[in-house]
Amino acid sequence: MASFKTPALKTPSLSFSSNSRLPSAFSVTFPDNLRFSRSSSRPQRRFLIVTASSASIPGKPTVLVAEKLGEAGLTLLKQFANVDCSYNLSPEELCTKISLCDALIVRSGTKVSREVFESSAGRLKVVGRAGVGIDNVDLAAATEHGCLVVNAPTANTVAAAEHGIALLAAMARNVAQADASVKAGKWQRNKYVGVSLVGKTIAVLGFGKVGSEVARRAKGLGMHVIAHDPYASADRARAIGVELVSFEEAIATADFISLHMPLTPATNKILNDETFAKMKKGVRIINVARGGVIDEEALVRALDAGIVAQAALDVFTEEPPKQDSKLVQHDRVTVTPHLGASTMEAQEGVAIEIAEAVVGALKGELAATAVNAPMVPAEVLTELKPYVELAEKLGRLAVQLVAGVSGVKNVKVSYASSRAPDDLDTRLLRAMITKGLIEPISNVYVNLVNADYTAKQRGLRITEERNIIDGSSESALESIQVQIANVESRFASAISESGEIKVEGRVKDGIPHLTKVGSFEVDVSLEGSIILCRQVDQPGMIGKVGSILGEENVNVSFMSVGRIAPRKQAVMAIGVDDQPSKQSLQRIGEIPAIEEIVFLKL
């Protein structure tokens, strides 16, 4: 294989080539905009994700704040974006406004429905949920539209736990009912005799951030604390003196049940007629999680039947609940209007947490609190960074080589690495190959959030294979190969002996290179665009092609010739900075030794 660089080689650039058909909006901007967001102020493990870039958006991005947000968060947002605070929008008003916004910030009071994403027509890049629960955001629709959803998972934990404890104590001592009674001019000391907490068993259902803080505080009140959470660590529970038990045991033995799980299909109406029937008579229920985890009608029945002595509820299936709701009006039920996160401190904290996440995402930083994108640990990301561009470009090249009518269905990606398969996390690379494969042939915009979903939607089956090779395991990858099966090619030489379109590349000095086309070895830097010619190897070919391009002022950055044997068939790969005219490509194709030619845009 012969290969040389022309003197006019342009400065290597790692910038992402933007898609001109679509706003670069939510491009997974690799790798120029790939930055690392690490907040030392937050103690827990941070995962980093590639998110949006606003690099090519003219002017400042616009952030719609649809619910009240703490001042500190607004100040942060205003330093970077135009901030539109419009509260109490109707669903129709939200849909109208959203097409002018790059980001949307909500709390639990705004439904971010599929219609919102559809109405945004691709402009909305980030939805920030200023709090924990994202059940008011249609995550599937966000993912399909390539919109990142971030939340603020930590700043309101203590507030929610404190509210749970406030409800527990208020319920046990009838504080709300007694208060209303005194204000109504009564003095009913016998009516409002409460129950004590000390020595009682409380079952915490959902031993996550809030649940464990509630458990800690309940222990401080002298309660016996048990918890049920199929995904929680028994060690963490043991560390704060809590026993993890089965759901059945938790509900059968508890005097108080405090709910702290997310609303999911599995937790939906987890407390229902059947489960209430298994509870200890006289149990008391606290819910600061989500209304939907309780079958509210069943709870009324359980209250009336005396199974449940009292309930204290901050959250409801429908918010606000109907004024004549039997549950809300029940005299043994204490209610608050979803106040769990509503402390001054929590709201300031949440506002800062979400503003940082949204601004970071708009800047193209790596979001740590993304809800709908695969998490890629920081260390993996750092390592794979140079291969990210290679992966996308190989996908782009491979798909542009396809011809015929059979359609791209099966793509095989092989990673050659000296590392053990478990040591190579390829999710990011697969997403980028998918992006490269799909974007040149569709108007779908692919990013890390929606790559797998989009591939599946299009019936694209991407299989991955790791080939372990000898060598130093210092670099994560030696090469990436992309093969498209069962298709014809616009460039017959791109079909390998086994019948697939095959392109292979590797990273050299930080720059992605194409190193194989079909069975031909080439070596061309993947910058600008590429012309591939199959020719009968003979002297003077490089000069002839070079001069045709030169006449049109097309700058050649790289040339290489891969051949089977001297003076036999060869593939010449030419890197060009500019797009040659059709006429020039035709003239090159008419050089007698040239058998086929294809121009590939990177």
Ligand X SMILES: O=C(O)C(=O)COP(=O)(O)O
Ligand Y SMILES: NC(=O)C1=CN([C@@H]2O[C@H](COP(=O)(O)OP(=O)(O)OC[C@H]3O[C@@H](n4cnc5c(N)ncnc54)[C@H](O)[C@@H]3O)[C@@H](O)[C@H]2O)C=CC1
Using the rule CB under 6 A, is 150 a contact of ligand Y? no
Residues paired with residue 571 on neighbouring β-strands, in sequence order: 534, 562
Contact window for ligand Y (CB under 6 A) among 337-345, 474-482, 507-515, 589-597: 337-345
Strand, coil or helix: 335: strand
Least Cα distance to 17 among 506, 395, 286 occurs for 395
Query: Is 338 an active-site residue?
Result: yes
Is the Cβ of residue 120 or residue 157 nearer to ligand X in the bound state?
A: 157
CA distance 276 to 254: 12
By CB atoms closer than 10 A (0-12, 13-18, 19+), residue 412 is middle
Residue 499 binds which entry of ligand X, ligand Y, none, CB below 5-8 Å type-dependent: none
Using the rule CB under 6 A, is 317 a contact of ligand Y? no
Residue 109 binds which entry of ligand X, ligand Y, none, CB below 5-8 Å type-dependent: ligand X
Using the rule CB under 6 A, is 466 a contact of ligand X? no
Query: Within 13 Å and on the Cβ side, how many CA atoms surround 91?
Result: 9
Residue 292 binds which entry of ligand Y, ligand X, none, CB below 5-8 Å type-dependent: none
Using the rule CB under 6 A, is 131 a contact of ligand X? yes
Handedness of CA 159, 205, 272, 109 (dihedral sign): positive
Using the rule CB under 6 A, is 349 a contact of ligand X? no
Helices (DSSP H) in 503-572: which residue ranges? 541-551
Contact window for ligand Y (CB under 6 A) among 34-42, 152-160, 470-478, 489-497: 152-160
Which residue among 197, 289, 361, 600 contacts ligand Y (CB under 6 A)? 289
Helices (DSSP H) in 121-156: which residue ranges? 139-144
Using the rule CB under 6 A, is 110 a contact of ligand X? no
Strand, coil or helix: 500: coil
Angle subtended by helix axes 157-172 and 344-363, to nearest 10: 150
Using the rule CB under 6 A, is 261 a contact of ligand Y? yes
Using the rule CB under 6 A, is 227 a contact of ligand Y? no
The active-site residue out of 274, 319, 551, 590 is 319
The active-site residue out of 129, 338, 419, 563 is 338
Residues paired with residue 575 on neighbouring β-strands, in sequence order: 530, 558
The active-site residue out of 260, 290, 330, 419 is 290
Site string for ligand X, 324-343 (x = CB under 6 A): --------------x-xxx-
Where on the phi/psi map is residue 415: left (φ > 0), alpha (ψ -120 to 50), or beta? beta
First to last CA, the chain: 23
584, 535 contact by CB (below 8 A): no
Is the Cβ of residue 372 or residue 454 nearer to ligand X in the bound state?
A: 372
Q: What DSSP string describes 104-119?
A: EEE-TTS-B-HHHHHH
The tokens 């009518």 sit on which residue? Answer: 405
296, 326 contact by CB (below 8 A): no
Using the rule CB under 6 A, is 108 a contact of ligand X? yes
Closest residue to ligand Y in the complex (CB) = 208
Which residue among 97, 129, 280, 338 contacts ligand Y (CB under 6 A)? 338
Contact window for ligand Y (CB under 6 A) among 1-9, 25-33, 192-200, 285-293: 285-293
Q: How far is the CB of 392 from ligand X (least distance, A)?
A: 36
Closest residue to ligand X in the complex (CB) = 131
DSSP state of 449: T
Is the Cβ of residue 348 or residue 595 nearer to ligand X in the bound state?
A: 348
Which residue among 103, 132, 556, 561 contacts ligand X (CB under 6 A)? 132
Quote the tokens at residue 409. 């269905």
CA distance 159 to 157: 5
Residue 289 binds which entry of ligand X, ligand Y, none, CB below 5-8 Å type-dependent: ligand Y
Q: Tell me how long the chain is.
A: 602
Q: How far is the CB of 229 from ligand X (least distance, A)?
A: 17
DSSP state of 124: -
Query: Is 513 an active-site residue?
Result: no
Is the Cβ of residue 119 or residue 157 nearer to ligand Y in the bound state?
A: 157
Is the Cβ of residue 316 or residue 520 nearer to ligand X in the bound state?
A: 316
Using the rule CB under 6 A, is 321 a contact of ligand Y? no
Is the Cβ of residue 211 or residue 360 nearer to ligand Y in the bound state?
A: 211
β-pair type (402-403, 488-489): antiparallel
In the chain, what are the helix, strand and coil shares in percent, each to the nearest 5? 30, 25, 45
Using the rule CB under 6 A, is 107 a contact of ligand X? yes
Is the Cβ of residue 109 or residue 377 nearer to ligand X in the bound state?
A: 109
By the criterion CB under 6 A, which residues form the site for ligand X? 107-109, 130-133, 156, 338, 340-342
By the criterion CB under 6 A, which residues form the site for ligand Y? 132-133, 153, 156-157, 160, 205-211, 228-232, 260-262, 264, 266-267, 288-290, 314-315, 338, 340-341
Q: Which residues are designated catalytic?
A: 290, 319, 338
